[in-house]
Amino acid sequence: MSCQIVIHFVFRGRCSGTESSFLKVLIEIAKCGNITKAAAKLGYTQSGLSHTLNRVEDELGFKLFMRSKKGVTLTSEGAAILPIAKQIESGMEKLRETITSIQGLEHGKITVGTFTSISTNILPPVLMAFGKDYPGIKIELLEGSVTEIQNWIMDHTVDIGLTSLQENEEFEHKIWFEDPLLAVLPTDFETENENYFDIKLFEKYPFIMPANEKGCDYDIEKFLESNNIKINVKLSSTSTMAIIKMVARGLGVTILPRLITLGHTNGVKTLPLRPYCCRNLGMGYISLKSASPATKKFIEYVQLIIDERRGKEQNYFS
């Protein structure tokens, strides 16, 4: 009976409107951690989605989620099913897109994992060009940390991750360019050399640490640790714009990737680090061969825009 209910929801459930597949229900509730929020995204009422979830759990014979006043969390059984559900749903989406690609690439969905500096500096022209040529393809952006995006790629939460690529990635990837890390200092900050900033000097001044919801910025923390720099962290923030303003007010110094600082250097100055350090920006995906037609086409557009910018801004991308 439990297998029958899953099969029924997968193959008879609709992908839009007021009904959705069992897989989408499970994935969306797990992602939102809240039935009300998931219901709004899936087109359900809160009571309707609760009823659907209860019915599925009754048929399965075990609970998928634990309920509390703060929301819902996966049970151990639900956690065991979720990665498989994501793989099946990804395959179903690929099947739908393959069918529509035969008819013409008119419908589909792409989930992209990224972070703010890429969302603001690289993605807009990609989304404009792709949206103009393929208006029926829905694109969902999920912003997260480097580690989160890596995990999203591996567990099929996203179709493609636009991120800082690390050594020995477990998925296929393509590096676009190096994004240098820079010292960000108040404009009146006196330095011995105006061409670079010796990283050992960070130990002398209050440091403002860029952070994310999971902790310190991955690339910056890795750089400091690998060079054995003992910083004095006075402040931290998840907002890079707030960090730049704090530096401008003389509250400390920091390190930021160049892409983040573009157009946001009022009240501060930036210097290359010595020794040189950078993050490698690019895109990652489980397998280009197995990617859906829509995802493959989106990857083509991303690379086209990167190549165009490389031609126009050779100094930055070199």
Q: Does residue 103 surpass a pLDDT of 70?
A: no
Section 251-279 average pLDDT: 93
Those residues with Cβ within 8 angstroms of residue 225's Cβ, 6 or more apart along the chain or in another chain: none
Section 97-119 average pLDDT: 81
Structure tokens at 78: 């639900």
Residue 13 confidence class, pLDDT cut points 50, 70, 90:
very low
Res 9: pLDDT: 43
Q: Does residue 286 surpass a pLDDT of 50?
A: yes
pLDDT digits (tens, 9 = 90+) for 32-89: 999 999 888 887 888 888 888 888 888 888 999 999 988 899 999 999 999 988 888 8
The position carrying tokens 């859906």 is 292
Q: Of all residues in the chain, what percent carry a pLDDT higher than 90?
A: 52
Residues 11-16: contacts with CB under 8 Å, at least 24 apart: 15/96, 16/43
What is the value of pTM for the model shown?
0.69
> How many residues are given for the chain?
318
Section 245-251 average pLDDT: 96
Give the E-state strand segments of the chain in sequence order: 65-68, 71-74, 108-114, 137-143, 160-165, 172-186, 197-198, 206-212, 215-216, 232-237, 254-257, 268-274, 278-285
Res 215: pLDDT: 64
Section 264-276 average pLDDT: 94
Section 168-193 average pLDDT: 92
